[in-house]
């Protein structure tokens, strides 16, 4: 069964559940969705949070291969996303030539802050790690010891690989950056990424594609009336 790990932050609990619903409701076959929650990683993830982290899963995401026993393929996704396609189409892009695959954005945001006042940092390969397909057996460098001690740039710039040639590319539709990428019809997008801030935050209720996320949330909350 394909596994999708989603970063979990208690400040965005509703985002995780809406994303999970969007995946499950469109999947053509069973899929396991697993939250990466720090409360479930006691004794494994030990690094302290620093002031540049915008979420609790900024670094714990790189434990996915370890949590997968370094076997098979696993997906990672930030929680501030909404899947509009069949998640198994993403797994169909897995290519054994690569250790990891991602959408290779050239993302250079101009603002200095994003949701909840978090700093908007600038670095090469920004947002590459927000959706990752891990070929787990080739990511054995990502042990708990390494993830707990490596710098943020070493992790997010894939310095744990021998070269960038081990990084394959996913199609752009699987990590559409809301507010940065050109607005497209939702039929052309497989995964919306509300990276600046999702409509579940008061300051972003009018963000692009807010109506799409709100509709998904309402579907998640649905219960048939008596």
Domain ranges of the chain: 2-221
Ramachandran angles phi, psi of 148, nearest 5° = -75, -20
Question: What band does 54 get if pLDDT is binned at 50, 70 and 90?
Answer: confident
Flag whether pLDDT at 85 surpasses 90. Answer: yes
**Could you tell me the fold of the domain covering 2-221?**
Spore Coat Polysaccharide Biosynthesis Protein SpsA; Chain A (3.90.550)
Give the whole-angstrom CA distance, residue 70 versus residue 162. 17
Match 């997008």 to its residue by tokens: 189
Give the whole-angstrom CA distance, residue 169 versus residue 134. 12
Q: 3-state DSSP call for residue 77?
A: strand
37-41, 47-51, 138-142, 221-225: lowest mean pLDDT where?
47-51
Q: How far is CA 7 from CA 35, 39, 131, 159, in A?
A: 6, 12, 10, 21
Give the whole-angstrom CA distance, residue 159 versus residue 181. 27
Average pLDDT over residues 80-98: 98
């Amino acid at each position: 069964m394909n596994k999708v790990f989603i970063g979990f932050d208690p400040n965005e609990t509703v985002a995780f559940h809406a994303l999970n619903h969007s995946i499950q409701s469109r999947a053509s076959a069973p899929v396991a969705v697993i939250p990466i929650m720090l409360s479930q990683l006691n004794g494994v993830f030990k690094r302290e949070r620093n002031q540049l982290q915008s979420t609790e899963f900024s670094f714990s995401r790189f434990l996915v291969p370890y949590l997968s026993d370094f076997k098979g393929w696993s997906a990672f996704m930030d929680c501030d996303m909404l899947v509009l396609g069949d998640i198994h189409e993403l797994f169909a892009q897995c290519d054994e030539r690569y250790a990891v695959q991602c959408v290779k954005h050239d993302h250079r945001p101009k603002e200095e802050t994003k949701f909840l006042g978090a700093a908007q940092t600038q670095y090469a390969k920004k947002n590459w790690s927000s959706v990752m397909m891990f070929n787990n057996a080739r990511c054995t460098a990502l042990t708990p010891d390494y993830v707990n001690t490596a710098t943020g740039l070493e992790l997010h710039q894939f310095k744990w690989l021998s070269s960038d040639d081990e990084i394959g590319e996913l199609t752009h539709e699987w990590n559409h950056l809301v507010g940065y990428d050109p607005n497209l019809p939702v039929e052309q997008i497989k995964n919306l990424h509300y990276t600046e801030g999702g409509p579940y935050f008061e300051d972003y209720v009018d963000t692009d594609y807010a109506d799409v996320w709100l509709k998904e949330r309402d579907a998640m909350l649905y219960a048939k009336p008596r």
